[in-house]
Chains A and B, each alone.
Chain A
């Protein structure tokens, strides 16, 4: 009888998963359609790279004149009143070149930003419509991003099922919280290489969780390493994975500490591999950090952390449309409650931290916590060292969204009595759905559709 109940509940969970994935797809299609063309951070420049990646001449900008489609892209920006919804200070000029409106990445970063292969993956849908209207091309690439989101949600489900297989609250709650996060849906319905980086980083974290559960399984870590390497070559927001693997390596070091001479050899080999295979931009950033540290001049503007937090949940457009502050305050309160719940969990279950049975879970959570800390630290730390306020967007934390949401849900679960956890999950889901609906219908749509 108990196994029948368990099978029935598993079937219900799987059917709910089906609905979650279907909802993710349809929500993504709706957001991609409703969001005015080019109205996501850097979307025109990201699209330019994705389209240019399909042709060597365009990617390397070796032709004496810009490609003909640059004019189409510029015209599309004007048709859809691109400048009316951003803070970019340029005048509408139908004769101006494309870089009058947007910063072109190959001009700004000199080839160190992203790779042609990853942009070609993002721009793959364009193969179907290379010579079509450029706005249509944008929509096709957006649809590709929507599919990435479906994969991310599925990976989130798999990751939590691996770590907490017996908790419906977590197994369903984590994908639901990601799905109904309006900012996440917004970004994963528009064009940005950060979306592919997020997918790859999420896959890496999943295989790390599997590897830790399966007693430090090398094939899983191998796959995780492959995904992480491509993720880091895709975008700098995945650079935290470098430290994530450092955390994983520490478990190997401890387990095989008696064979330290072999470990030393492996370490030397790995260092060499990292030196030759690391993204150029990562190397550049490392070389810039030490002189900045030596200057001993540090900055801190609380607006940075405030904007990172707010734009993690909802700051649509080019991070320009803010909700009424009461909503951000509400999120702050529930997040603080979650932290409280997490602390209570640590105190109550402290003996289990060293129990052999729970070591895989504990190790995974430690690695995830490290990932979150590094991802936040990179953004805030860069501001502290340089004073720049340019990088203060919550979307840069989306590659660690699965770990973040796992910890949030763990904290909330701790505050809910066991018999109330399923109704609690329903209550959380309903409120998330209402929040998302409010952002879409009371903010995003009125924002883009109030000009005649």
Chain B
């Protein structure tokens, strides 16, 4: 039936578009550094960002050209209306106090634009000499009040070599965040393969193994969908 064939063609176009989106998102996350776990699914009231309550997270940038930070935000399942400020601070070499840190970037957004348990991206001009330096992401919202405030995702355990901050006090927790860098595709691929082969034995420590597997998988997929389409066509 011609209409069925048209549907099949549209299906494959849809598949291609979705694959491109998956691929773009994958590529986008390559080379990023961060902490992805969020177990804070039902955040407590004390975690609200309001008034003087400030929440932050420190990290050491492994690469130069830091140009983006993503944070997983949570809304308590309600509509919040006040403005929230995100600041990116750089610790000075001689001090790890927030008060002494240098502000490198600042952005303000309305909590009403936040979607619950979604990443929020903050782009800023690349910090070319970021490699090896310690930064802190800080969120504050002086106008917010309990019942009308947002919070962040995170884990109440120190899993990441940085620390969460409540006010200016480091706490044994980590927020859900990632820091990304301006890198070429080659640099991102290199970073990824360096990680995936690190401390792995024999062929699992060889980049070629992963490339070969991906190639075989792609060929099998093409053959498989060809056969499946033949059954359907």
Measured CB to CB, the residues of A under 8 A from B are 9, 12-13, 15-16, 19-20, 22-23, 26-27, 29-30, 33-34, 79-80, 83-85, 87, 89, 132-133, 135-136, 139, 168, 172, 320-322, 324-325, 419-420, 422-423, 425-427, 429-430, 433-434, 437-438, 441-442, 445-447, 449-452
Nearest neighbor of B222 in chain A, beta-carbon distance: A19
Counting chain B CB atoms within 10 Å of each CB, the highest count among A27, A320, A442, A447 belongs to A442
Nearest neighbor of A32 in chain B, beta-carbon distance: B204
How far apart are the CA atoms of A79 and B199 in the complex, in Å? Answer: 8
Task: Tell me whether A89 and B32 are in contact in the complex, defined as CB-CB below 8 angstroms, given that A19-B220, A168-B231, A442-B25 are known contacts.
Answer: no
A62 to chain B, nearest CB (A): 30
B8 close to chain A: CB less than 8 A: yes
- Which of under 10, 10 to 19, 20 to 34, or 35 or more describes the interface residues of B? 35 or more
Task: Tell me whether A450 and B22 are in contact in the complex, defined as CB-CB below 8 angstroms, given that A26-B220, A139-B204, A320-B37 are known contacts.
Answer: no
Nearest neighbor of B230 in chain A, beta-carbon distance: A12
How far apart are the CA atoms of A15 and B225 in the complex, in Å? Answer: 11
Measured CB to CB, the residues of B under 8 A from A are 1, 4, 7-8, 11-12, 14-15, 18-19, 22-23, 25-26, 29-30, 32-39, 41, 62-63, 117-118, 155, 157, 159-161, 178, 191-192, 195-196, 199-202, 204, 209-210, 213-214, 216-217, 220-221, 223-225, 227-232
Task: Say whether A83 contacts B159, CB under 8 Å.
Answer: yes
A143 to chain B, nearest CB (A): 11
Task: Say whether B192 contacts A23, CB under 8 Å.
Answer: no
Task: Say whether B117 contacts A324, CB under 8 Å.
Answer: yes
Q: Chain B binding site: helix, strand, loop or mixed by DSSP?
A: helix
Nearest neighbor of A91 in chain B, beta-carbon distance: B158
How far apart are the CA atoms of A442 and B214 in the complex, in Å? Answer: 16
Nearest neighbor of B63 in chain A, beta-carbon distance: A452
Task: Say whether A441 contacts B22, CB under 8 Å.
Answer: yes
How far apart are the CA atoms of A30 and B39 in the complex, in Å? Answer: 27
Taking CB atoms, residues of chain B closer than 8 Å to A324 are 117-118
| New A-B pairs, 20, CB < 8 Å, besides A15-B227, A136-B202 | A12-B231, A16-B224, A16-B228, A19-B220, A19-B224, A23-B217, A26-B216, A83-B159, A89-B157, A321-B37, A322-B41, A420-B4, A423-B7, A426-B229, A433-B221, A434-B18, A441-B22, A441-B25, A446-B32, A452-B33
Task: Say whether A452 contacts B213, CB under 8 Å.
Answer: no
A79 to chain B, nearest CB (A): 5
Nearest neighbor of A427 in chain B, beta-carbon distance: B11
Task: Say whether A30 contacts B117, CB under 8 Å.
Answer: no
How far apart are the CA atoms of A301 and B195 in the complex, in Å? Answer: 40
Contact of B22 (CB < 8 Å), options: A15, A33, A425, A442: A442
Nearest neighbor of A426 in chain B, beta-carbon distance: B232
Nearest neighbor of B194 in chain A, beta-carbon distance: A452
How far apart are the CA atoms of A451 and B33 in the complex, in Å? Answer: 5
How far apart are the CA atoms of A160 and B217 in the complex, in Å? Answer: 26
Task: Say whether B221 contacts A449, CB under 8 Å.
Answer: no
Counting chain B CB atoms within 10 Å of each CB, the highest count among A12, A83, A423, A437 belongs to A423
A-B contact pairs, 9 of them (CB 8 A): A19-B227, A23-B220, A23-B221, A84-B160, A139-B204, A321-B37, A423-B8, A449-B192, A450-B35
Nearest neighbor of B21 in chain A, beta-carbon distance: A438
B116 to chain A, nearest CB (A): 8
B215 to chain A, nearest CB (A): 10
Nearest neighbor of B23 in chain A, beta-carbon distance: A441
Taking CB atoms, residues of chain B closer than 8 Å to A452 are 33, 62-63, 191, 195
A16 to chain B, nearest CB (A): 5
Taking CB atoms, residues of chain B closer than 8 Å to A13 are 231
Q: Chain A binding site: helix, strand, loop or mixed by DSSP?
A: helix
Task: Tell me whether A450 and B29 are in contact in the complex, defined as CB-CB below 8 angstroms, given that A13-B231, A135-B201, A430-B11 are known contacts.
Answer: yes
Q: Which 5 A-B pairs have the closest CB atoms?
A: A452-B62, A19-B224, A136-B201, A441-B26, A422-B232
Task: Say whether A22 contacts B220, CB under 8 Å.
Answer: yes
How far apart are the CA atoms of A168 and B230 in the complex, in Å? Answer: 13
Taking CB atoms, residues of chain A closer than 8 Å to B217 are 23, 26-27, 30
Task: Say whether A322 contacts B195, CB under 8 Å.
Answer: no
Task: Tell me whether A84 and B159 are in contact in the complex, defined as CB-CB below 8 angstroms, given that A19-B220, A30-B217, A441-B25 are known contacts.
Answer: yes
Taking CB atoms, residues of chain B closer than 8 Å to A325 are 117
How far apart are the CA atoms of A15 and B228 in the complex, in Å? Answer: 9
Taking CB atoms, residues of chain B closer than 8 Å to A20 are 224
Task: Say whether B223 contacts A30, CB under 8 Å.
Answer: no
Task: Say whether B26 contacts A445, CB under 8 Å.
Answer: yes
How far apart are the CA atoms of A54 and B195 in the complex, in Å? Answer: 33
Taking CB atoms, residues of chain B closer than 8 Å to A80 are 199
How far apart are the CA atoms of A446 and B225 in the complex, in Å? Answer: 27
Taking CB atoms, residues of chain B closer than 8 Å to A29 are 213
Task: Say whether A33 contacts B36, CB under 8 Å.
Answer: no
Nearest neighbor of B196 in chain A, beta-carbon distance: A449
B202 to chain A, nearest CB (A): 6
Taking CB atoms, residues of chain B closer than 8 Å to A441 are 22-23, 25-26
Nearest neighbor of B5 in chain A, beta-carbon distance: A423
Task: Say whether A9 contacts B29, CB under 8 Å.
Answer: no
How far apart are the CA atoms of A133 and B200 in the complex, in Å? Answer: 10
Taking CB atoms, residues of chain B closer than 8 Å to A449 are 192, 195-196
Taking CB atoms, residues of chain B closer than 8 Å to A434 are 15, 18-19, 22
How far apart are the CA atoms of A193 and B225 in the complex, in Å? Answer: 33
How far apart are the CA atoms of A290 and B43 in the complex, in Å? Answer: 38
How far apart are the CA atoms of A337 and B196 in the complex, in Å? Answer: 40
Taking CB atoms, residues of chain B closer than 8 Å to A133 are 201
Taking CB atoms, residues of chain A closer than 8 Å to B30 are 446
How far apart are the CA atoms of A398 and B1 in the complex, in Å? Answer: 39
How far apart are the CA atoms of A23 and B232 in the complex, in Å? Answer: 20
Task: Say whether B36 contacts A321, CB under 8 Å.
Answer: yes
Task: Say whether B36 contacts A450, CB under 8 Å.
Answer: yes
